[in-house]
Amino acid sequence: MEVLGVAPDEALALEDSPNGIAAAKEAGLWVVAVPNALTAEGDLSRADRRVSTCAELPLPELLRRLG
């Protein structure tokens, strides 16, 4: 994010695993869990939002969050 000049509150992470979610949260990002067949039963509770597919996440909601 530093290289891109983006602050943590101006970015979000789409993650599919507990480790990815943990890393993104440690970086201060808002996290959306999009689990796959292997990670769907894992603990994704640290994510701010969970969806089955990215299609479930409306762009206006993302823009409001990052606004």
**Segments making up each domain of the chain, as ranges:** 1-52
Quote the CA–CA distance of 10 and 67 in Å, as a whole number. 8
Global pTM value: 0.84
Quote the CA–CA distance of 33 and 11 in Å, as a whole number. 15
Q: Are 8 and 28 in contact (CB under 8 A)?
A: yes
pLDDT for 66 equals 65
Residues 41-67: what's their mean pLDDT? 86
pLDDT for 17 equals 96
Quote the CA–CA distance of 14 and 64 in Å, as a whole number. 16
- Average pLDDT of every residue of the chain: 90
